[in-house]
Amino acid sequence: MHEKSFEPISAMMDGEIEAFELRRLIERTSNDGELKDKWGRYHLAQDIMQGRSVEMSDTVDLVSKVSAALETEPNYRTTVIHEVDQLVSKERPQQSPEEPSQWWKPMASMAMAASVTAVVLLGAQGYSTDTSVGPTVDLANVVKANEGFPQGKFGNQLSTVSSSNSQPVVKKMAYGMRQYIQQHRDLLANKAASWQANWLPQGFSKVTHRVSNKSEVLLYSNGRATVSVNIEPMGSQVASQGVVTSDNLLAYGVSADKKFITVVGDVSPDVAAKIAASVTITTQ
Amino acid sequence: MSGENNAEIDKQLVKRVQEGDKRAFDLLVGKYQHKIIALIGRYVYDQDEALDISQEAFIKAYRALPRFRGDSAFYTWLYRIAINTAKNHLVSRGRRPPDVDIDVADAQYFEGENKLHDLGSPESNLVREEMDQVIKKVLDQLPVDLRVALTLREFEDMSYEDISKIMDCPVGTVRSRIFRAREAIDKEVSPFLK
């Protein structure tokens, strides 16, 4: 490769590059291992010159490893969903071709939609107006043309499944969707609480509980304040032990007997610790 | 980090990823991998373990990127993710994470109150010291216009435009000089990484 072609990499490091050049360079770099290596080495030399702490090893190549690990992750574009509710659709008046489809809802409504309808995911129509990133899909035409369920794949690819199939099939789950399916199953299961807090501040009583396959959440209230107690197997928690406050709420996490207990509420750390210490398996 | 331009390029790369260009994330990984591994190396002393945790931290960062709003610099945000990933890793293995977090400014620098250079592997420290010497030697031997341009950029954090005024030359010339200086250094640095 001619030396000159690395010059934009150097300029990009310094933030001295125009947006169009940046876009072109990212595309070039993604397909060129030599450019990627150059980018990494320029930064390494810069870090050393400026006295920063760096790990030096000829075996360090996180770029390839992370890139491979992210192969199955979705690209972040606005993902749209297709709500499939056949009962409703039968009663829905026919749309004129000019009328924009009302079936497509933004990602923000996904949680609600997942609980009541099947969802089908499409990677299309991003926040970005940059059409150079990849092909976009005319969703209305897709629906019209297929009269079936657009079927989600990562990225911008689309395939369809016949409408004669009464159960929409999602080939691949978008990242984070499994939790909604699990939540739905958990709600249906309506399991009894297997844990209880044996000490609570005066006036508090249990309002509700939620049991999932991994954790159990108990919500207590005295009519004004609320306290939730989350119990999960040790190792599955995402936090370390300790106390964090946010606005009026305090979260207190502690491990005990192979479980991790988190108490959240507008209570003091002492009260939260006392509640957590009182958690036992229910005797019912 | 070196100033607004550095943060700006991160911001642009983050924006690209958020807009759907996953490949732009490779550039962020390439830029920060050595720093993040060094940071995590302060929590776990085994290099393979540090590499695994670093990889996990970058993957978590990618997954969390839609929620990154740029209230802080990308590196500060990435640094927090890396620290939390390292601490969770220790807890999940029944090891106690340190009570006091490492400050982001301390974490970046080789020398400092925490004597970071004592924590790297001996091989890593040796290679680093050798590279440090090589870079200093190359800098000394560079033609003066290249050395001045690179020095003003790397140590004074000056924009190309400011450097062009000081050196009384067009911005394009500054860009070219800095690039040629980096290439001269890279020519000597790359054998250490093969």
Burial of B90 (C-beta count, 10 Å sphere; 0-12/13-18/19+): middle
Partners of A132 on chain B (C-beta within 8 Å) are none
What does the pLDDT look like over A186-208, one tens digit per residue? Answer: 667 667 778 889 899 988 888 88
Residue B55, judged by CB atoms within 10 A of its CB (0-12, 13-18, 19+), counts as buried
Contact A56 B131 (CB under 8 A): yes
**Alpha-carbon torsion, ordered B85, B88, B90, B95, to 10 deg:** 160
Cβ neighbors of B121 (< 8 A, separation 6 or more) are: A57, B47
Q: What is the pLDDT of residues B41-71, one digit of tens each?
A: 888 878 788 889 999 999 999 999 988 888 8
A window 99-128, beta carbon within 8 A of B: 126-128
Between CA A228 and CA B114 the distance in angstroms is: 40
B60-77 as b/e: b if 16+ CB within 10 A? bbbbebeebeeeebbbeb
| Rounded Cα–Cα distance for residues A177 and A164 (Å) | 25
ipTM: 0.83
Confidence of residue A282 (pLDDT cuts 50, 70, 90): confident
pLDDT on residue B174: 96
Residues 26-55 of B with CB under 8 A from A: 26-27, 29-39, 41, 47, 50-51, 54-55
Encoded tokens for A54: 């760096």
| Token pair recorded at residue B134 | 């090589």
Q: What is the mean pLDDT of residues B154-160?
A: 89
Looking at every residue in chain A, the average pLDDT score rounds to 65
Q: What are the tens digits of pLDDT across the range A122-147?
A: 333 332 323 333 333 333 343 333 33
Match 């159960």 to its residue by tokens.
A167
CB contact residues (below 8 A), chain B span 148-167, against chain A: 153-155, 159-160
Assess whether pLDDT exceeds 60 at residue B113. Answer: no
Chain A interface test: which of B4, B14, B21, B58 (most A C-beta within 10 Å): B21
C-alpha A201, offset from chain centre: 35
Question: pLDDT confidence of B95, banded at 50, 70, 90?
Answer: confident
- How many whole angstroms separate alpha carbon A220 and alpha carbon A252? 15
Q: Return d(Cα A278, Cα B183) in angstroms, integer.
A: 64
Q: For A68-80, write each residue's pLDDT tens digit.
A: 888 877 777 644 3
- The CA radius of gyration of chain B, in Å to the nearest whole number, is 19
The percent of residues in chain A predicted with pLDDT above 90, rounded, is: 6
DSSP line for A128-195: ---TTSS----HHHHHHHH-SEEE--STT--EEE-TT-SS---SSPPTT-HHHHHHHHHHHH-PPP-E
Q: Over pLDDT 70: what percentage of chain B?
A: 84
Residue burial A231-241, b: 16+ Cβ < 10 Å; e: rest: bbeeeebeebb
| pLDDT tens profile A78-116 | 443 333 333 333 334 444 443 333 333 333 333 333 333
Mean pLDDT to the nearest integer, A252-281: 86
Tell if the CB–CB gap between A26 and B6 is shorter than 8 Å. Answer: no
Whether the CB of B192 is below 8 Å from some CB of chain A: the reply is: yes
Closest partner CB to B135 (pick from A13, A49, A63): A49
What pLDDT sits at residue A178?
60
Q: How many angstroms separate the CA atoms of A272 and A74, rounded?
A: 39
Type of residue at A72:
T
What does chain B come to in residues?
Answer: 194
Q: If you measure CA to CA, which chain A residue comes closest to B111?
A: A51
A235 or A89, which is more confident? A235
Instruction: Label residue A180 by pLDDT band (50, 70, 90).
Output: low
| A41: contact with B, CB 8 A cutoff | yes
Classify strands A79-84 and A118-123 as parallel, antiparallel or unpaired: antiparallel
Q: What is the pLDDT of residues B124-151, one digit of tens each?
A: 678 778 888 999 999 999 999 999 999 9
Residue A281 has pLDDT above 90, yes or no: no
d(CA A222, CA A206): 9
CA-to-CA dists, residue B90 to A242, A258, B102, angstroms: 15, 15, 15
Least-confidence region, from A156-165, A195-204, A216-225, A261-270: A156-165
Q: How far apart are the CA of A167 and the nearest CA of chain B, in angstroms?
A: 30
